[in-house]
Amino acid sequence: MKLYRILFLLAGVLLLAGCEKIMPSNGLEGRWKPVYASGTYEDAIYIHYYDGPADEHGVVPQVYVGKTNPDVKYESTMKLVGYRFFRKDGKDVFTTFLMDTPNEKIYEPLMYRIEDGIIYREMPWGALINDSLDYLDQGSGQFDEGTPITILDNGQLKIGNFTYQRMN
């Protein structure tokens, strides 16, 4: 009887571990449009703050605040990309698109993997080098540092500070 309990426990653990590998192709497959973004980032002159829902074009409001002079503020917008996750040649891949042109990909399909609730996305050559336009949108084989990913109870997908809704 103890042997069966151990086998059931082991089978359960293996199933849970296997779910992490199945989730990318089954759980993410399809197109996801941006619906909300919240966060900050910096450049050489400004700190950019964004927090709000995305409109039908994938645009969210943002405010630029001067790093050396916080009284300098500009309101602007930021355009978010949507994601399409699918399988190609037995690999989990994604493309990005703009909401105004959802059938046009921005880059060639790039690979991704999910490990321990973190998505690692392959970077295109254009993110690494400045060279011929002939291949800058192709995969480099190098992955980013990873971003937390969660499927929320309402079916939305959260990647870092960005929330997405599955498109029909």
Instruction: Write the pLDDT tens digit of every residue in 62-99.
Output: 999 999 999 999 999 999 999 999 999 999 999 999 99
Overall size of the chain counted in residues: 168
Model confidence band, residue 8 (pLDDT cutoffs 50, 70, 90): very low
Residue 52 pLDDT exceeds 70: yes
CA atoms within 13 A on the CB side of 72: 8
The domain spans of the chain are 24-166
Nearest to 96 by CA among 79, 112, 108, 113: 108
131-147 pLDDT per residue, tens: 555 555 566 678 889 99
Contact (CB, 8 A) for 119 and 159: yes
The dihedral formed by the CA atoms of 21, 22, 26 and 32, expressed in degrees to the nearest 10: -20
Burial class (CB in 10 A: 0-12, 13-18, 19+), 112: buried
As a whole number of angstroms, the distance between CA 72 and CA 160 comes to 28
Q: What tens digit of pLDDT does each residue of 109-123 get?
A: 999 999 999 999 998
